[in-house]
Chains A and B, each alone.
Chain A
Amino acid sequence: GAGVSQSPSNKVTEKGKDVELRCDPISGHTALYWYRQRLGQGLEFLIYFQGNSAPDKSGLPSDRFSAERTGESVSTLTIQRTQQEDSAVYLCASSNQGAGGTEAFFGQGTRLTVV
């Protein structure tokens, strides 16, 4: 596809369940980001993948959160034992940052609601 694709677009889950969010970046993009955005708020950085380097996990809020990326392709963000405060829109972005100075492209996000 031409853009960053995220699935599902909406997810309603019960408290305590695990969820997995998927991001398909633009082909060839070396950098991939996950952000969380609560209603009406700014972007909260979660994790950053750049090529084959170790990911920057400094933004993950707790050990219930984890993310993986295989090579320069699909990434999954997993939230275990979901809590109501996890309710937010989770945004994924990719860029060809290795080329220097190129902008990040965002997906439409996954709206997670924990009930």
Chain B
Amino acid sequence: AQSVAQPEDQVNVAEGNPLTVKCTYSVSGNPYLFWYVQYPNRGLQFLLKYITGDNLVKGSYGFEAEFNKSQTSFHLKKPSALVSDSALYFCAGFAGVTGGGNKLTFGTGTQLKVEL
């Protein structure tokens, strides 16, 4: 069975410092991996995805993520955090089976808090 894990319930970082939100996966074949962000009282917004190609993918709001096959990880990063980045972040993935058919699985979410 495929799964996505976010080992940290909460991450605290000072504004201007780099941030990392961790995600590991257990997905058969070539995984398709995603990051979403949820601001308070809002729906989920897509940030970025890894399908194939370069291991470092860049997304919205200055976020990037690195796909690491040997460590089965897809950590979300940003070089300099902003207070406005404070939100709930979800990692998600499914197996890259041609034609789809595998459901999108979400991690439990990580609350990011950026403080002045």
With contacts A48-B103, A100-B98, A100-B100 taken as known, whether A106 is within 8 angstroms of B44 at the C-beta atoms is: yes
Segment among B17-25, B67-75, B78-86, B106-114 that sits at the interface with chain A: B106-114
Task: For B98, list chain A residues within 8 Å (CB).
Answer: 100
* Residue A104, interface by CB 8 Å: yes
* Residue A56, interface by CB 8 Å: yes
A55 to B55, CA, bound (A): 33
Contact with B along A79-102 (1 / 0, CB 8 A): 000000000000101010111110
Mark out the residues of chain B between 77 and 102 whose CB falls within 8 Å of any chain A CB in the assembled complex: 90, 92, 94, 96, 98-101
- A42 in complex: contacting residue of B45, B103, B109, CB < 8 Å: B109
Contact assessment for B42 and A103 in the assembled complex, using a CB-CB cutoff below 8 Å: no
Query: Which single residue of chain B is at the shortest CB-CB distance from A41?
Result: B109
Nearest first, the 10 closest Cβ-Cβ pairs linking A and B are A97-B100, A101-B51, A42-B109, A48-B103, A42-B108, A106-B44, A108-B43, A106-B43, A103-B46, A43-B106
Measured CB to CB, the residues of A under 8 A from B are 30-31, 33, 35, 41-43, 45, 48, 50-51, 53, 56, 91, 93, 95, 97-101, 103-109
29 pairs of residues in contact across A and B, judged by CB atoms under 8 Å: A33-B103, A35-B106, A42-B106, A42-B107, A42-B108, A43-B44, A43-B109, A45-B105, A48-B103, A48-B104, A50-B100, A50-B103, A91-B43, A91-B44, A93-B104, A97-B101, A97-B104, A100-B51, A100-B98, A100-B99, A101-B51, A101-B96, A103-B34, A104-B46, A104-B104, A106-B44, A107-B43, A108-B42, A109-B43
Besides the contacts A42-B106, A45-B103, what 16 more A-B pairs have beta carbons closer than 8 Å?
Answer: A33-B104, A42-B108, A43-B44, A50-B103, A91-B44, A93-B44, A93-B104, A97-B94, A98-B99, A100-B99, A100-B100, A101-B51, A101-B96, A104-B34, A106-B36, A106-B44
